[in-house]
Structure 1
Amino acid sequence: MTGRSSTSRRTVLTTLLAGALSVPLLGAAPASSTPAAALELPSSTGPHPVGRHILHLVDRHRTDPWVPTARGRELMVSVSYPARSSGGTSTAYMTEAEAQRLLEARALAGVVPAATVAGTRTHAREAAPSAPGRFPLILLSPGFSMPRTTLTSLAEELAGRGYVVAAVDHAYESVGTESPGGGIPPCVACDRVGVDVEEATVVEGRAADLSFVIDELTDRRRVGALARMIDPHRIGIAGHSIGGAAAMATMAADRRVRAGINLDGDFFVRDAGSGLGRRPFMMVGAGSTHSPDSTGTDWAATWNRLHGWKRWLTVTGAEHFSFTDLPWLAGRLGLADPAVPLSYERGWCITRDYVGAFFDLHLRGVPQPLLHGSTGSRPEVEFHRP
């Protein structure tokens, strides 16, 4: 239970469902006058080429919380990893059907062609041979109603740096995730959260999903070579929006997860942060909504329950989706929202640098001066309550 009134819960839901693409594409021209453009994600700064496998995982020991008649809890997972070479076929960003559903959900089907979004060039290679060695595992959970593909740039960046990265789609919580049979299940949760179900249900369900993904990826009988790449003693987690709340909830429930990050999400569950012990956690948010003087957020209460290494950062000029692929794609199309002061390039670089530094410090033990405090090279990033 969150203890919020029904009115405030509806307000939170409105925020969670706020147009993920409509924000960066605000004021865009109609499709007929929008020039065609080939989209490409930012390249990884790491030394490794990147490979990717798509997994369909089913936890048959759990009843799906949204569709109890389903055959278990189904999860689509994109696993990005350090590869041996950069040869082979580039992975698809998303299917055209997924892109169409996402655009329709945001009333943008007439602004950007689905084929343009689906055809975004990635830098991962399909089923590329893995690099030798064992690598830390990082799980990524997307924002409410958003597909895992919205965190592809971050997944590729971390994989290029030498991590195995599992981006997870949670069944019936996304507006555009294609199942192995080719259909796109509805976002049942979108119609229920804030009506007869609280946000905490989403958070707790995702925590169970993410622990199950760890079980599967570290079981050689289940995933073979992928499991042999993973060091099960070095596992981290990050999420955007409600996915960030799920990151903390997973850490509280699963001691295997050593470090976590919340990217601009509230926490929703009672006593969030109290189960982490001394494991490190970092909160990164938009300055307008997650500074210490912001109202309507539970960050201050959560911060006080964290007793290990911790950081509270806000980014001036950022908005809720600045930590995802969406502003980058909009900017590349020339459709960036002029009301968002932080450029899409700068937003991506800040996300990449701070997330990468956090995991390099806590999963690899590499010192990171960037995390000591504010720096003149990144004046947008403010450290709170050091």
Structure 2
Amino acid sequence: MTTGYRRPIAIAALAATVLLVVPATAVHASPGPTPAATGNHTTAARLPRPTGPYAVGTEALHLTDRSRTDPWVPEAGPRELMVSLYYPARPGGRGATAPYMSTEEARLMLTAAGLGSASPTAVSSLRTHARTDAPTAPGRFPLVLLSPGFGNPRATLTSLAEDLASRGYVVASVDHAHESTGTALPDGRMLECAACDLVMAAPDEETVERLNATVSTGRGTDLSFVLGRLTGHHPAWRHARMIDPSRVAVAGHSIGGNAAASAMLADRRFDAGINLDGAFFAPIPATGLGGRPFLMLGTGTGHGPGGTDDTWDEAWQRLDGWKRWLTVEGAHHSTFTDVPFITERLGVPVDPAAPLSADRSARITRAYVAAFLDQHLRGRPRPLLDGPSPGNPEVVFQHP
């Protein structure tokens, strides 16, 4: 293992400060307020429109796993999770569009990212497309579980979740307790990132490695629990009848991508998985994933063959089913999330080392994630996965 890589990535990719990947000079160049702080927003205040034929509904769900004590704050008692459900809806719903996140969640996120001078409302007011109380579309649909990066609120995967729901997927986006800068619970409590503090205070490489693995495997257990509560005999969600439990995928960003593999290793109910630019801190074993398909989609700088993260080289050799390793030129670690839209909204300058625009970031992520899911949950072959395409010159197929 390349120890020169893993220590920085454990701190950068697992700490809350990775939330908004911006040039260092953008944070410290001027003591004055950002455009967002003054209200002079220069970019659209809405996420990109979903591309599928369905309208999108959404509902939040608070789940408690009473069989487990929270690993980060044991005195808090059982493990608690917040889940945002996105689902195909009938057109013309009268419900309001869902808020992106609460103002306090936005404040905590910006503070952790070193952007405390920016207005939290510039983020919390980002307009979404999913409507609350929207009537469900008829039929049964595949289920996709999403896990965000360490420190990142689940809201940072909203654009991807809305798009998948519009294409005919039920999506469950999970906030893992004490692993986000801020998770608001229905009773008014705010769970902050105790796990982030432990990672940042880790005294040595061995401790960091142990914490990395704990995050990934613990999230795998969280995701398996959520799956059970959505598809079991007494489901926790009122619209659970929409879900086809025979077609389930799990995907995540950063450590959430490693958690996707951990969930598949622990639970055969997950049929396919996706890692969006996450190191495999908890490695895939030599026995593989039982022949199930897996997509690795990451940055060209960090996650190419022989790159700074050698865990992808190891994982590639051990994946024993259908697999693809794709990298995106001009991308940064948070390209595969809503972070590019947030930084544009805040007026943060583009990093010249990662110039991919927010629009291209969303188009690429949505297209390749949806193609993978269509092919492996719906049995619809997608040529986009067969090799390079002129419409996506930034996407490089590794090991063709």
> TM-score, normalising length from structure 2?
0.91
Where in structure 2 are the equivalents of 1:210-359 lying within 5 Å? 210-219=223-232, 221-272=234-285, 274-339=287-352, 340-359=354-373
Given residue 90 of structure 1, which amino acid in structure 2 is its aligned partner? Answer: T
Give deviations 1:28-47, integer Å, cap 9, x for gaps: 66436554336101110000
Once the two structures are TM-superposed, the CA of residue 357 in structure 1 deviates from its matched residue by 0.4
Q: Counterparts of 2:267 and 2:287 in 1: how far apart (Å)?
A: 13
TM-score (norm 1): 0.94
C-alpha separation in 2, matches of 1:225 and 1:180: 17
Aligned equivalents of 1:306, 1:271: Cα separation in 2: 8
Q: Is the 8 A contact 1:138 1:166 kept in 2?
A: yes
SS at match of 2:240: helix
Change beyond 3 A, Cα 1:104–1:333: closer
1:98 aligns with 2:111: no
Q: Which residue identity is paired with 1:346?
A: R
The equivalent residue for 2:387 is 373
The Cα of 1:297 is off from its aligned counterpart by: 2.9
Q: In 1, are the aligned partners of 2:21 and 2:333 still within 8 Å (CA)? A: no
- Report the AA paired with residue 377 of structure 2: L
The 3-state SS of whatever aligns with 1:60 is: strand
Match of 2:59? 53
CA distance in structure 1 between the partners assigned to 2:86 and 2:239 by the alignment: 10
Q: CA contact under 8 A between 2:153 and 2:183: conserved in structure 1?
A: yes
Aligned residues of 1:47 and 1:160 also touching (Cα < 8 A):
yes
After superposition, give the CA deviation of every residue in 1:103-122 in whole Å (9 maximum; x if it has no partner).
Answer: 11112121x21111101100
Counterpart in 2 of 1:36? 40
CA distance in structure 2 between the partners assigned to 1:273 and 1:261 by the alignment: 19
For 2:34 and 2:152, locate their aligned partners in 1 and report how far apart those are by CA, in whole Å: 26
Alignment correspondent of 2:79: 73
1: CA distance between counterparts of 2:176 and 2:110? 19
Equivalent pair of 1:248/1:273 in contact (CA under 8 Å):
no
Q: Match for 1:12 among 9, 12, 15? A: 9
Q: Which range moved further: 376-385 or 26-35?
A: 26-35
CA contact (8 A) 2:35 2:347 kept: no
Residue 375 of structure 1, CA deviation: 1.4
- CA shift, 1:9, in A, is 5.0
Moved more, 265-274 or 71-80: 265-274
Partners of 2:318 and 2:311 lie apart in 1 by: 11
Superposed CA RMSD: 2.0
Q: Partners in 1 of 2:312 and 2:103 — Cα distance?
A: 37
Look up the SS of the partner of 1:52 in the other structure: strand
Pair 80,292 (structure 1): closer, same or farther in 2 beyond 3 Å: same
Identity of matched residues, %: 52
Q: What is the alpha-carbon distance in structure 2 between the residues aligned to residue 367 and residue 143 of structure 1?
A: 29
Segments of 5+ residues of structure 2 without an aligned counterpart are: none
Q: Distance in 1 between matches of 2:184 and 2:61?
A: 12
1:378 CA displacement: 0.9
Aligned length: 382
- When residues 225 and 75 of structure 1 are mapped into structure 2, their CA distance, relative to the original with a 3 A threshold, is same
8 Å Cα contact 2:6-2:309 kept in structure 1? no
1:160 aligns with 2:166: yes
Greater CA deviation, 117-126 or 182-191? Answer: 182-191
Once residues 170 and 89 of structure 1 are traced to their aligned partners in structure 2, the CA distance between those partners, rounded to angstroms, is 26
CA distance in 2, matches of 1:258, 1:163: 14
Letter in 2 for 1:128: A
Shift of 1:329: 2.4
Give the superposition deviation at 1:202. 0.4
Q: Distance in 2 between matches of 1:270 and 1:158?
A: 28
Q: Find the residue that maps to 2:222 and give its secondary structure.
A: helix
More divergent stretch after superposition (319-328 vs 289-298): 289-298
Deviation at 1:275, TM superposition (A): 4.0
Contact 1:75-1:171 at 8 Å conserved across structures = yes
Q: CA deviation at 1:185?
A: 1.6
| Structure 1 residues 172 and 184: alpha-carbon distance in aligned structure 2, compared to 1, 3 A threshold | same
Q: Distance in 1 between matches of 2:24 and 2:344?
A: 9
1:91 Cα deviation from its structure 2 partner:
0.3
How far did 1:12 drift? 2.4
SS in 2 for 1:225: coil
Q: 1:114 aligns with which of 107, 111, 120?
A: 120
**19-28 or 333-342, which deviates more:** 19-28
Q: Distance in 2 between matches of 1:326 and 1:25?
A: 16
Whether the 8 Å CA contact 1:262–1:284 is kept in 2: the answer is yes
* SS class of match (1:285): strand
The aligned amino acid for 1:368 is R
Shift of 1:186: 2.2
Paired residue for 1:149? 155
List per-residue Cα deviations over 1:54-107 (Å, max 9, x = no partner): 000000011111111223110000000001124221101000010011111112
Structure 1 residue 293 displacement after superposition:
2.4
